[in-house]
Structures are given as structure tokens and as C-alpha cells.
Amino acid sequence: MPVQNYPRVWHNGAFIPWEDARVHVASHVISYASCLFEGIRCYQTPHGPALFRLKEHTQRLMDSCKIYRIALDYSPEQLEQAMVDLVRVNEAPHCYIRPVVLRGYGEVGVNPLNNPVEIYLLAWKWGRYLGEDSLTRGVDVCFSTWQRMAPNTLPAMAKSAANYMNSQLIKMEALTNGYAEAIALDTAGNVSEASGANVFAVRHGKLFTTPLTSAVLPGITRDTVITLAQEMGLAVFEQALPRELFYIADEVFFCGTAAEITPVRSIDRIKIGSGEPGPITRRLQERYLAVVEGRREDHYGWLTFCNQPAAAAR
């Protein structure tokens, strides 16, 4: 499906038309994947469009850049304001924002340090990531034959374009074999994450998710789920998890900015629980959607309302 983009793009401090947001094919990013990016959803709320966990996404972008020795010319606050402005100038009632930091046109060798750093903020409309009815009906998935990155190879904590070559292999294998998504293991054989989402298992009323040492992106939705689950009195364990725990779990779900909270109804054709979205997944999903859509009190200051004056935008 073609991208349903909003027309204005923020580039290095100025707004430009979508059509002009281009890079030369000789740019460093093209050959060497020198790109760090983010994905942030802006939801329609009763008080206008609101970005969900803008501060944390901006911080993760800064962290990704730091790992790759990129010093940005903009402070986190300036980038946050630019994203609020992006929503406003596009008059977007809701959108997905893709901040992109890349190494641009200049030298053509591997050394990235002399190439210019460019920042783009793009916005488009994005529905349910794994299919229109995925949140209500759940999805059928598999374990991938591909593993996530070995420690000390490509840093999993950085949201880098290079890591998504691995994600693409995982995703293509899943789709080719008739699954909506796949879960990859880490190089120790423990469960890691899906190609574009973190994963949770529920067993005997307790939640389990994989730790940062299992080559996962430190998901902001994962953190949101942990917080909401604890609020609901559920115990959450972050630990190395074996593949088979997921087969015998009562419930399994994915979480991510794009995937939101998507129930998993089978893995490798093994039914998870009853094969329907389970009660804990449903409760967490309801609470999550109520928070992001501004239908529940924002105890944690997670929403940034875009239609308010700048000083009050958080």
C-alpha cells in the first residue's frame, strides 16, 4: 500500500515538501546503512492530537546516535518541539512520526565521521500494523530460523537501519510461510523479539518478557506494558526465556508503537491457550488504548498535546 503521507517534512530545522525530502544515492547511508530512527504515534484524543511518550522516543533517538558517535545539533527539547510543530503544520488529527538521522553526502568510504548528519521528521497515516483486525482477533506467527544479532556485533539497543536488515529476513520468512510475523531467538537460543515488536508471555497469571541481554530493542511500549501491568497488580518478570515457554503459555502478545498490543493466537501452528486473545492481553490492550487515546487519566505525563501553546505542550 502506498504511503499516506502528510505533505510537510521537517528537515534540519525547516519545513520542506514531502517530494523534496531526498538523499543522493552516493550518500553514506545508502551503502553503509548509517541511519538511526524512531517511530512515534500521535493519537486522536478528546483534547486534539497527542504524541505518546515523545520524551522517551526522543531520548532513545539520542541514545542510538550516541552509540554511533553522532552528536546532534539539536537538543532533545528542540526535537520534541519540532515534532509537535510537524503535527500542527500538517494539521494531522493522528499520525505516525518517523524521525530519521542519517549520514549524508560527502565521503564515500566506510568512515562516517566526515559525512554531514541530516535529520528528517516525516509523518504518515498508519492503521493497525499487523492487519485491520489483528488487535481484536490476534495473529498467527512462527519462530524464525534467523537469530537476532549476537552481542557485540550490531547493538540491539540502538534503533538503527542496519538492524532492520535482520528484521527483514525474519519478516520475509514469516510472510513466505503464511504467518503474519515471526519471533526470533538470540544467539544463545533464548527468545528475543519479533521483527518489529517486543514479546510477552502470560502463564499462571504472571507476565514474562525477554531482557535487554537477549538482543531486544528497549521498547517504549514494553515499558508501558510493564507499568500498566504492575498498576493492575500483575507480577512481571524480565528474564531469559526458553522458546517452549511460549508454546505452553496461556497467552502471548506483541507490543510496539506500530504493533500496539497485538494478541498472538498460535505459534508454529500450536494454539496458544484457547487460540483466542486471552483475558490479561485484552485488559492490558484496553488500558493501553484508553491511555494513548486520552480516555484515561495520564498519571505519568505520557501524552504531549499538540494543539496547546508550546509552553504547555507537555
Ligand X SMILES: Cc1ncc(COP(=O)(O)O)c(C=O)c1O
Largest pairwise CA distance in the chain:
56
Whichever of 115 and 160 has its CB closer to ligand X, that residue is 160
Binding status of residue 193 toward ligand X by CB under 6 A: yes
Binding status of residue 257 toward ligand X by CB under 6 A: yes
CB of 161 to ligand X, least distance (A): 11
Residue 25 — left, alpha, or beta (φ > 0 → left; ψ -120 to 50 → alpha)?
alpha
- Only one of the segments 105-113, 213-221, 231-239, 276-284 lies at the binding site for ligand X (rule: CB under 6 A); that segment is 213-221
Binding status of residue 217 toward ligand X by CB under 6 A: yes
- Inter-residue contact 178 to 207 (CB < 8 Å): no
- Inter-residue contact 88 to 81 (CB < 8 Å): no
User: CA-based angle 217:75:4, to the nearest 5?
Assistant: 60
Whichever of 3 and 26 has its CB closer to ligand X, that residue is 3
Whichever of 34 and 198 has its CB closer to ligand X, that residue is 198
Binding status of residue 39 toward ligand X by CB under 6 A: yes
Whichever of 112 and 219 has its CB closer to ligand X, that residue is 219
Binding status of residue 256 toward ligand X by CB under 6 A: yes
66 among known catalytic residues: no
What is the rounded CA–CA span in Å between residue 99 and residue 86? 11
What is the rounded CA–CA span in Å between residue 300 and residue 261? 19
- For ligand X, the binding residue among 112, 219, 273, 277 (CB under 6 A) is 219
Task: Identify which of 5, 41, 67 has the alpha carbon closest to the alpha carbon of residue 255.
Answer: 41
Catalytic positions: 159
User: Which residues of this protein are in contact with ligand X, per CB under 6 A?
Assistant: 39, 167, 193, 196-198, 217, 219-222, 256-258
